[in-house]
Chains A and B, each alone.
Chain A
Amino acid sequence: MFDVRDLTTSYGPVRALDGVSFTAREGEVTAVLGANGAGKTTLLRTASGLVRAERGQVRLDGRDVTRAPAEDMARLGLAHVPEGRGVITELTVEENLRLGGLHRPARARRADVERICGLFPVLGERYDATAHVLSGGERQMLVIGRALMAAPKVLLLDEPSLGLAPRIVTQIFDLLRSLVASEGLTVVLVEQNARSALSIADVGVVLNLGKVVVQDEAAALAADEKVRHAYLGF
């Protein structure tokens, strides 16, 4: 479904991603884990075209999208929720949602808004409010909802738990899990919070200094004491 082969990216002389390969299977959550600076965010940014890949391939549904510009990714079926949530706080909740479905026909978009406000009732309540009044958890729901507006096949999520209270994190992750089941989404979840991420993921990929060090079923990773100590910090 979402396939990364030998992906390599540098910022000037610094190599941030070094030959990363993995596959995120359809209808599963793949957690990408690792310490700060391991290359997790760069992986997502390269996959969505925000950063240029030096080498390697990104395939979406069998189609090579490595060189596709970031602007085209939403239309191709890939939604990227950048780090720091990416709510446009100056716009209203409604406008943020509308932006999510730019390439969709107007009627489908209206139906999607209904559906998403059903999934996240708080967005319906705050529909006409400016997004900067939302709490951290509400903003996270808004960006996930906005990503769903694009009717994506693959959802890339960058640190959704960042700065949220543990209770909210659990709530968001539960929602995510149920979305994967109901929508048949493929999710690539980048997380520092490895324990929570592995609790909802099917597969885990551990990055260190831009390389994949381990990839395995999530349960197996969570059980592997050595990996946990060396890379996951729990």
Chain B
Amino acid sequence: MPTTTEAGEKDPAAAADGRGGPRRRWRSSVLPRHLSLAVLGLLAVTVVMETTGSFANSQLASMAYLGIAAGGLTVLTGLNGQLSLGHGAFMAVGAYTTALFLDGEPPALPLPVVLAAATLVTLLVGAVVGVAAARLHGPYIAGATLALAVAVPGVVLHFERLGGEQGLGVRMPETPVWVLDAAYFVTGSELDPTKYVAYIGWAALVVTYVLLANLMRGRVGRTWRAVRDDEVAAEIAGIHLGRARVLAFVVSTACAGLAGAVMAMAVRITAPSGFSLTLSLTLLSAVVLGGLGSLTGALIGSALLTFLPHLVTGLGTDAGLTDVRAAELAPAVYGLTMILVILVAPAGITGTLRNLWRRRRGVA
């Protein structure tokens, strides 16, 4: 399926070929490059985290889980051309799994294992849905995942163990002493629980993005793009279409599961209302705004989702709207921008900037 939304993940490859460097050298230099970017990113996050207050820390935590989920979605939609309106539902799976595993004093499993378990459970659910969805196309897969997004809150209500409308409280385990000590040693300040969760979120994000970036640049990513661009040609080239689609779906839902786990810890409660259709659609708007198929775009998109609401809601209340109504301004902005992006700049923010940059340098 051709998409006009191409945020140019092919460009580094093209640039590398243009430099005439042997392909192998470029390939082997990818991982170190991603790793050093990751370390730089973590440093930047640490600096920001330590210089801002508790409220900003919690915002950063939400940006982390939105970013993880958006990263997974952008791989699915941008690279493989499948649209999921059900990622909110997959986040719910991850979040509820986390809540259940952390229930108990002390929790049965250490935190990293809980995160991994939440990811794994969601991955399994994603595999089941993915196998079915792999056979569907454009509007059909959109409709099916939309149905999923609407169905999951009802399923949650059906099982009493999941706490009904009120949902489950999430018990955050005590921060391990060695973590507190290490944090104090590095930053010179106490690590409060909010900040702890934010750090976990960003660590999870960085790990996810490094893995995704490597996947995208490698053989798997090329397979996905081939399937997206021309199914027939991909099949002739020996690509198993169904397998490629299911793999993309599974990778993407695993990200959603991890995002849900971080969300559960950050929000401290998992309730059906937190995983409404709105969440799924908002995630989609994030990846469209940022530029489909680009991890940078997904990160920018999730930053907008995190910080824009405060800004525009403030403007709304200043203009005389009640809080509740002003809160709707942010989604109005997302919706409108989504429409404008499709009509005017299908490459999203990252793609458009890149095109402008290239035009200025006269490369394109």
A and B, direct touch (CB closer than 8 Å)? no
